[in-house]
Structure formats: C-alpha cells, structure tokens
C-alpha cells in the first residue's frame, strides 16, 4: 500500500428500516505526529480519542514540500518501494463495531500499488477487496458494504 498523501474516511454500516444508512465513524487526516524516515522499521500504534488504535507499519512523516500540494509537511508518508507490486507499508484502522460501508482515500503520487484489505476478526486474518496500480493521482472510494467487517 504505497501512498504519499492519504485522507481516510470510514463510514459505518447500520441497519435501518430504509436499508443501510451511512453514518461516519470518523475522519482521520493523519496530521498527528509520525516519526522520521529513519524510524520506519518499527510498527507504531497511536491511540486516538474517540477512535481507537491506528497502527502504522513502515511509515514516516515527510518533509519534502515538493510532493505536498498545500505546502504542509504534516501528511502521512509511506516508504518509496513497491513501485510495481505490493510493498511493505501498512495503515491499519481501529476496530469497528458496526461494520464498514465504504472507505475513501487520495493517492498523492503516481505509479504506486495499493491493496485495501478487510478483516472480520479484528485483524487476525485479512481479505483483499481492492487493488490500485495506476499512473494517476486520484481520489478513491472503495465500497465495502459489510456489517461483519471490523478492521481495514
């Protein structure tokens, strides 16, 4: 999952008389502190109040403003590997208790491979549901629509 800039939104699945209703869990802009590129090997976990534990593997906070359209240096960065296939950087969401309707994210660099996987057992096992390998920067929406999914 190679991403230069990612805004991650997860919508909950809730059952109602009218069917599935979108009710956002939260929006995480990844503006919190992330370590430098020198510290990318160890997994990091951040407890975000009202959300739970976000887990980052092989991630760092970039300072190269050439790649950041708004000029800030506070965006989540992944290592620059895996150009033609899966890399080894991951962002894992907190555990959800109402399923997942969809996720959205922005790919800030071109020619990157992204795999979106979901778990129904808190992250013990994963199923890939979306692969992205395009040479464009774009906004992505992945429809999940599964009340049993509890982690992305």
Evaluate whether residue 132 is within a structural domain.
Answer: yes
110 domain residue, yes or no: yes
The structural domain count of the chain equals 1
- Is pTM, for the whole model, over 0.75? no
| Residuewise pLDDT in 10s, the chain (152 residues) | 444 444 444 443 333 333 344 444 444 455 555 444 454 456 767 777 788 887 877 765 555 555 544 444 345 555 554 444 445 677 888 898 899 999 887 776 666 777 889 999 999 999 999 887 766 667 888 999 999 999 98
In a domain, 2, yes or no: no
Does residue 38 sit within a domain?
yes
Within a domain: 71: yes
Q: Please give the residue range of the domain that contains residue 125.
A: 8-146
For residue 1, tell me if it sits in a domain. no
Determine whether 3 is exposed, middle or buried from the number of CB atoms within 10 Å of its CB (0-12, 13-18, 19+): buried
pLDDT for the residue 61: 55
Instruction: Give a yes or no: residue 151 inside a domain.
Output: no
Q: Which residues of 37-63 are buried (b: 16+ CB within 10 A; e: fewer)?
A: eeebeeebebeeeebbebbbbbbbbbe
**How far, in Å, CA of 46 to CA of 138, rounded?**
27
């Amino acid at each position: 999952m190679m991403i230069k800039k990612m805004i991650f939104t997860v919508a909950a699945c809730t059952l109602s008389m009218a069917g599935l209703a979108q009710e956002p869990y939260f929006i995480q802009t990844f503006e919190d502190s992330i370590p430098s590129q020198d510290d990318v090997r160890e997994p990091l976990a951040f407890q975000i109040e009202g959300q739970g534990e976000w887990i980052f593997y092989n991630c760092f906070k970039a300072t190269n403003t050439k790649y950041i359209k708004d000029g800030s240096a506070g965006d989540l960065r992944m290592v620059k590997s895996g150009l033609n296939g899966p890399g080894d950087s991951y962002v894992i969401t907190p555990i959800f208790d109402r399923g997942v309707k969809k996720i959205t994210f922005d790919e800030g660099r071109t020619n990157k491979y992204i795999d979106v996987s979901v778990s129904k057992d808190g992250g013990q096992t994963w199923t890939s549901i979306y692969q992205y390998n395009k040479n464009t920067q774009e906004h992505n929406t992945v429809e999940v629509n599964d009340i049993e999914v509890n982690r992305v």
